[in-house]
Amino acid sequence: MAARANELTACAALDEIAAGRLTAEALTTACLERIAEREPVVRAFAHLEPERALAEARRRDGGEVRGPLHGLPLAFKDLIDTADLPTAYGSGLYARNRPAQDAACVALARAAGALVLGKTVTTEFAMRAPGPTTNPHDPAHTPGGSSSGSAAAVADRMVPVAFGTQTGGSVIRPASYCGIVGYKPSLGTINRTGVKPLAESVDTVGLFAREVADVALVSAVLAGEEPVRQRIEPLRPERVGLCRTPYWDEAEDASRAALEAAAAMLGRAGVRLEEVALPAAFDRFNDLQSMVLRFEAFRTFAYERTMHADQLAPGTLEELEAGSRIARRDYLDAKARIRACRGMIDEAFGNLDLLLAPSAPGEAPRGLESTGEPTFNRLWTGLLTPCLSLPGFTGPNGLPVGVQTVGARDDDHRLLRRSAWIERQIGAALSSPPGQR
């Protein structure tokens, strides 16, 4: 079991541990062995101390069961504070930073029995200056960002679940590029205390895993819901809105094909599909969300830019400089227009169970100089809605392409259940002979 334990999903691994067929140490060892094998190529981790992780795993094995995540190794984006590992926020400026305490999400996970495997690579301050992480499917391509290492580590089976953050498209886009499940909850579902802020009005802690059931379990524990050890019960959606968004012309053929294929699968399963065209007020939404992000980021990083600008990456400085040119009146106007759109999206849902939209423009771009564009993510981040990227499709280069499910604000649980059902349909359809799809 230990030799293949790193390939288990979180729920499956927890079942094995609970049944006494697997130990936390054996699971952690399998993950570390996979990291040792693949890290020279993937470069997903910013900080890793194998002996510390193994010692924490042994303490789980030798102690009482703490909670529903007992013995589960987790990885955390290097934007999230940990008391026993450095947290550098992807910046050389903080290379020696040792937080005094765990972030809330880390502390809650540990209290539920999980252990910290390591810290994963982030772009500098979760902005645009990329780190060294490569796409596990092809190292010549980006894994996406800013949660680059977390997405790559889960996709490469180095760890069953990893934490990321999303302020623009930093969970959904890399999940799509790496072919895994990415979950951006409703704003505030997972507490942000101890997470380096970027734009506090929209910063959201999210999760990566290989199945919807895994993110559902971990988020339920951290959000204070009644945790369920079994897999989440899939819920069949009755009415799904096909939302191509105002940016459909920026979708590549691979993303268009994935969305159409997912819609066709749902239609064959008896789900009623409706085209959803957003009002004209959404046509410039991405510009508005970008304006809010940059205005807030310019002030968030006042210390770094005024005292240590020479130690920041050029891409970071460019983003901050863009924020300096935004007038407060324009920022407030953008926020007001976004608030109006939030009311409109509530109406757009109507009797719909969820929306189906692109996760990313297409396959992961070639090269590591950029982490791709959050074209199909800024909208839902700014609207504060929960969303998931579901894997299962590929583009012309054989790289993953995801589709995105979007729920109404604070309706995360039902979105997770419905997405689990869609995940099952995609899996069943793709495993059937081509003539039956």
The pLDDT score that the predictor gives to residue 227 is 61
Contact 403/389 with Cβ under 8 angstroms?
yes
State the Cα–Cα distance between residues 286 and 304, nearest whole angstrom.
26
**Between these two residues, 434 and 383, which has the higher pLDDT value?**
383
Region class of 183: left (phi > 0), else alpha (psi between -120 and 50), else beta: beta
| C-alpha Rg value of the chain to the nearest Å | 20
The yes-or-no answer on residue 146 being catalytic is yes
CA atoms within 13 A on the CB side of 373: 11
Residues 6+ apart with CB under 8 A from 332: none
Q: Which domains are seen in the chain, by residue range?
A: 7-122+145-223 (3.90.1300.10)
**Beta-carbon neighbour count of residue 317 at 10 Å?**
18
Contact 13/5 with Cβ under 8 angstroms?
yes
Q: Is a pLDDT exceeding 80 seen at residue 432?
A: no
pLDDT single digits (tens) 365-395: 999 999 999 999 999 999 999 999 999 999 9
Q: How far apart are the first and last CA of the chain?
A: 34
pLDDT single digits (tens) 87-96: 999 999 999 9
Contact 45/149 with Cβ under 8 angstroms?
yes
The yes-or-no answer on residue 184 being catalytic is no
Residue in this structure with the two tokens 């890290």, named with its chain if needed = 39
- In the structure, what pLDDT confidence band is assigned to residue 2 with cuts at 50, 70 and 90? very low
Contact 192/107 with Cβ under 8 angstroms?
no
Q: Is a pLDDT exceeding 60 seen at residue 119?
A: yes
Q: Which of 91, 119, 146, 359 is catalytic?
A: 146
Encode 111-161 in three state secondary structure.
HCCCEEEEEECCCHHHCCCCCCCCECCECCECCCCCCHHHHHHHHCCCCCE
The pLDDT score that the predictor gives to residue 435 is 47
The pLDDT score that the predictor gives to residue 348 is 85
Closest CA to 149 of 51, 26, 43: 43
The pTM of this model reads: 0.97
State the Cα–Cα distance between residues 352 and 119, nearest whole angstrom.
39
The pLDDT score that the predictor gives to residue 156 is 98
Order the strands of the 239-242 sheet from edge to edge. 45-48, 115-120, 73-77, 161-166, 204-209, 181-184, 387-394, 400-406, 354-358, 239-242, 272-275
Q: What angle do CA 397, 286, 334 make, to 5 degrees?
A: 170
The average pLDDT across 182-199 equals: 98
Amino acid sitting at position 230: Q
The average pLDDT across 5-28 equals: 97
The pLDDT score that the predictor gives to residue 117 is 98
Q: Which of 147, 170, 255, 389 is catalytic?
A: 170
State the Cα–Cα distance between residues 228 and 270, nearest whole angstrom.
29
Strands 161-166, 204-209: pairing is antiparallel
pLDDT single digits (tens) 321-330: 999 999 999 9
State the Cα–Cα distance between residues 44 and 135, nearest whole angstrom.
9
State the Cα–Cα distance between residues 82 and 52, nearest whole angstrom.
13
Q: Is a pLDDT exceeding 60 seen at residue 30?
A: yes
